[in-house]
Each structure stands twice: as C-alpha cells, then as structure tokens.
C-alpha cells in the first residue's frame, strides 16, 4: 500500500478525537453537562429556501435527470447563476465558463492546488491555518510553507512573506475570515498583498497565484467588509463552499472560480478541469448543484453566531483570558495560560470543556473554541470557563 496514505489514514485528527471523547463523556454525565467546542459544524439550520428548493426539485417530473450526471465542471444553469451572483455582488467579470462545481472547499482546494503546482513548488500560507492545508498541498506534490502571522493581530507579517517568496512559490493560500483565528483581512492588507505578489511574479518571471479559501465569507459581524480578492489581484482562484454559509457541510457542495482576468485563464480553467478529473472530482452532487442555484446570496441566520461571539468574548476576557477579537467565522483563538496548550486542554476537560489545541493549526500556545453551538450551551459553559480561569490564578 501507499505508506503516505496509510500514515494519513491511521493518524486520526485531534479534533475528531476530542469530539469522540465528548460523545463518550456525554453518555456518562449527560449531553447537557459537556461543553463541546471542538467541531466547526454549523448549529444554525439552513434557510427555509434551501428546504423549499429541495422539496420543489423532488416534486419535478424527471427524477432521472435530477439525480443524473451533470457535465464534469457542473450544471450550466448553476454555473450561470453563480457567475451572475459574483458579478452582481463584487463587480468583477465572471462567467459560467470560469466556474467549476466541487464537493465543498476541501475539493476546491485540492483541485486548485493540483491544477497549479508542480513537483518542487512551494505554497505559502499564514499560521494559524486550516489543518488540512498541509495534506492538500503535499497531495499536489508541493511543499507548504506556513509563515507566522503578526502575533498581536494575526494579520499577515509582510516582512516574513517578502522573505519567504521565491522562484519556487506557486501560490499563496489565504483564508479570510480565518479558521481558527476569526480574523478578516481588510482592504489595505489585500492591496499590499496583491502589490507584493504582482511585483514578485514579475521579478521571478512566473505567475504566483492567489488562492482564496473562503467558506466563511458571509460569516462576519458588525458590518466588517471582506474584500473580494479577484477585484485586487488578477491571478486569483476563489475556493468557495456552501458548508457554512448555508449550513450544508454534509451535502458537499462548493465551487472554484477562476478569475477571467488571470493570465492564460482558459488554460488555467482546463488545468482545473484536468485536476478534477485526475482526482475523481467530476460532477459535484447533482441535487445540491440545483438547490444552490436557487439560493444565491442567501445565508443561514448568522446573527446567532454573532451573539455567541459577543457573549463568549466578553465573558472570557472578563475572566482574564486573552483572545484576538474575531470579526468573522465562528471560532475564538484563545491564548493558553500555560505554554503547553495540550496540557491546558487536558485541564479544561476536568471542567468538561472540550477545546482544541492550536498546535495542529501551526500555532502552539493557543486553543480553538468553535462557538457554532447553541447560545444555551454557551450560557451553561460560562461557570466552567470561570473555574478554569481561577485554577490558573487569573
């Protein structure tokens, strides 16, 4: 067998282990007494329009067509609906010929990286980062270079980026709003990033692509703007997913948008199609392609997450914990009061608080708290957080 694949399959994810522990613990003491903040599974129902679209589609006449294969890159009407949404919302050129339907952001990323990278290439990202980036990049034959972010803000450290960019750089992979920090890159940051990548692409005589992983685009609070990267940098691929925005993670639906302004855009899109073919990711789930075509621009009720963020952030900081204020996604990245975040998570378990150590996100000394849970659970968990803080003398 392939030893790399065996290694990936046999090493279970820390997040999953904690989640499984939570289920065992819930059987012992009751689910209401376990405060499980491990998984990024949306707790808010999809909008009614999603359920209505499913019901209407299932009442159609031609079930064979509904459940049949679509074309490899996806159903044309769906791709057209997405392109129209992109043009209307972000004012950038977009057309169906540049949209490739996928099984969520994970597939969007794997395909995009495989479409771009050659052996020996490097992909740069910024810590903390989504744990699977390393796996996806290595599967594409490249090496992931994770640069530390500015520790005070978790924004891009441009000096570190400038030092890391090289003729080997195939792509820079960004995720804003970020999992696990919740940080959003503002307009000035994006402009600076775009200018640096354009300068280095010219200097090295190779296109450095920008890959924007954005499953949390619509999950922002207090009117924070999430700049649309193709409007700032032409060689951009957007890896989008409906997993979080429409609360559909189990339905596996998303897309890749190749900017029509990218160099050799038609060839780049064909490389995306080729990578989808090579990886077996052709024809994303047919029913959900048709569902999301009818739900463009809609989101689940993200005000629930905003309320959770506000409650948790103010309670945790009042207990003496430190976190960078998250403007988006549904995670808090909290500094561990002891250097070893794994030890801190073990201590938290004594209060039935299930948190995830930041080590796997490339950022030791922090823990991730996924607050996509019910507001009632947050309220019940606060005394446990307070006791945990007191146990460290905070």
- Looking at the Cβ atoms of 216 and 269, the one nearer to ligand PLP is 216
Q: Which of 15, 36, 37, 40 binds ligand PLP (CB under 6 A)?
A: 40
Residue 326: both structure tokens together? 């998250």
Rounded Cα–Cα distance for residues 104 and 245 (Å): 12
Contacting range for ligand PLP; rule: CB under 6 A; set: 99-107, 228-236, 290-298, 366-374: 99-107
Do the Cβ atoms of 284 and 74 come closer than 8 Å?
yes
Among positions 15, 18, 99, 105, the unique one binding ligand PLP when judged by CB under 6 A: 105
Q: 190 and 226 in contact (C-beta within 8 Å)?
A: no
Task: Candidates 46, 249, 328, 358: give the one binding ligand PLP (CB under 6 A).
Answer: 249
- Specify the residue, 182 or 249, whose C-beta has the smaller distance to ligand PLP: 249
Pick the piece of the chain touching ligand PLP (CB under 6 A) from 20-28, 102-110, 337-345, 352-360. 102-110
Q: Which CA distances in Å does 98 have to 74, 107, 139, 274?
A: 11, 16, 24, 14
CB of residue 18 to ligand PLP, shortest distance in Å: 15
- Residue whose C-beta lies closest to ligand PLP: 104
Q: Does 254 bind ligand PLP (CB under 6 A)?
A: yes
What track of x and - describes contact with ligand PLP for positions 133 through 172 (by CB under 6 A)?
----------------------------------------
In this structure, how many other beta carbons lie within 10 angstroms of the beta carbon of residue 162? Answer: 11
Site string for ligand PLP, 107-136 (x = CB under 6 A): -----------------------x------
Task: Decide if residue 243 touches ligand PLP (CB under 6 A).
Answer: yes
| Contact present, 341 and 359 (Cβ < 8 Å) | yes
DSSP string, 285-340: -HHHHHHHHT-TT----THHHHHHHHHHHHHHHHTT--BPPP-BTTEEEEE-SSS-
Shorter beta-carbon distance to ligand PLP: residue 234 or 368: 368
**Minimal CA–CA distance to 97: which of 85, 82, 107, 111?**
82
Q: Does residue 241 touch ligand PLP according to CB under 6 A?
A: yes
Q: How far is the CB of 103 from ligand PLP (least distance, A)?
A: 7
Looking at the Cβ atoms of 181 and 207, the one nearer to ligand PLP is 181
Q: What value, to the nearest 5°, has the Cα angle with vertex 48 and ends 42 and 51?
A: 90
CA dihedral (315, 128, 209, 330) positive or negative? negative
- Classify burial at 19, counting beta carbons within 10 Å of its beta carbon; exposed 0-12, middle 13-18, buried 19 or more: middle
Determine which residue in the list 139, 169, 175, 236 makes contact with ligand PLP, applying CB under 6 A.
Answer: 175
Q: Does 106 bind ligand PLP (CB under 6 A)?
A: yes
Look up residue 330 and give its two tokens: 């549904």
- Which residue, 227 or 254, is less far from ligand PLP as judged by CB? 254
> Alpha-carbon torsion 66, 100, 140, 193, what sign?
negative
Q: Is residue 104 near ligand PLP by the rule CB under 6 A?
A: yes
Determine phi and psi for 351, rounding to 5 degrees.
-105, 15
Contact segment (CB under 6 A) with ligand PLP among 30-38, 101-109, 154-162, 166-174 equals 101-109
In angstroms, give the least distance from the CB of 339 to ligand PLP.
Answer: 26
Q: Which residues contact 393 (CB under 8 A, 6 or more apart)?
A: none
First to last CA, the chain: 51
Residues 209-238 that bind ligand PLP (CB under 6 A): 213, 215
Shortest Cβ 359–ligand PLP spacing (Å): 17
Rank residues 40 and 357 by Cβ distance to ligand PLP and give the closer one: 40
Cα within 13 Å of Cα(210), Cβ side: 28
CB nearer to ligand PLP: pick between 126 and 233: 126
Q: Which of the stretches 98-106, 117-125, 197-205, 221-229 binds ligand PLP when contact is defined by CB under 6 A?
A: 98-106
- Give contact residues for ligand PLP (rule: CB under 6 A): 40, 104-106, 130, 175, 179, 213, 215, 241, 243, 249, 254
């Amino acid at each position: 067998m392939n030893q790399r694949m065996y290694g990936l399959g046999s090493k279970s994810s820390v997040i999953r282990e904690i989640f499984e522990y939570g289920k065992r613990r819930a059987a012992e003491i009751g689910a209401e007494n376990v405060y499980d903040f491990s998984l990024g599974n949306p707790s808010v129902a999809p909008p009614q329009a999603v359920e209505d679209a499913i019901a209407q589609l299932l009442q159609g006449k031609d079930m064979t067509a509904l459940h049949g294969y679509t074309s490899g890159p996806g159903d044309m009407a769906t791709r057209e609906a997405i392109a129209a949404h992109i043009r209307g919302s972000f004012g950038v050129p977009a057309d169906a010929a540049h949209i490739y339907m996928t099984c969520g952001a994970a597939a969007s990323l794997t395909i995009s990286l495989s479409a771009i990278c050659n052996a020996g290439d490097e992909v740069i990202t910024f810590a903390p980062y989504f744990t699977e980036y390393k796996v996806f990049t290595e599967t594409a034959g490249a090496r992931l270079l994770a640069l530390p972010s500015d520790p005070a803000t978790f924004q891009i450290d441009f000096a570190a980026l400038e030092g890391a960019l090289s003729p080997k750089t195939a792509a820079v992979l960004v995720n804003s709003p970020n999992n696990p920090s919740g940080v959003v890159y503002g307009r000035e940051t994006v402009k600076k990033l775009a200018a640096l990548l354009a300068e280095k692409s010219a200097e090295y005589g190779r296109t450095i692509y920008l890959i924007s992983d954005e499953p949390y685009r619509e999950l922002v609070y207090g009117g924070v703007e999430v700049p649309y990267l193709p409007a700032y940098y032409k060689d951009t691929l957007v890896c989008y997913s409906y997993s979080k925005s429409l609360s559909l993670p189990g339905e596996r639906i998303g897309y890749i948008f190749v900017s029509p302004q990218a160099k050799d855009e038609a060839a780049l899109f064909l490389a995306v199609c080729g990578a989808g073919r090579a990886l077996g990711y052709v024809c994303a789930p047919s029913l959900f392609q048709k569902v999301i075509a009818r739900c463009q621009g809609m989101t689940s009720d993200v005000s629930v997450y905003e309320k959770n963020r506000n409650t948790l952030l103010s309670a945790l900081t009042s207990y003496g914990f430190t976190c960078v204020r998250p403007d988006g996604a549904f995670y808090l990245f909290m500094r561990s009061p002891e250097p070893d975040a794994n030890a801190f998570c073990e201590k938290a378990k004594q209060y039935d608080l299930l948190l995830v150590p930041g080590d796997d996100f490339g950022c030791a000394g922090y823990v991730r708290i996924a607050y996509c849970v019910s507001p009632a659970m947050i309220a019940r968990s606060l005394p446990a957080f307070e006791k945990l803080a007191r146990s460290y003398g905070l």
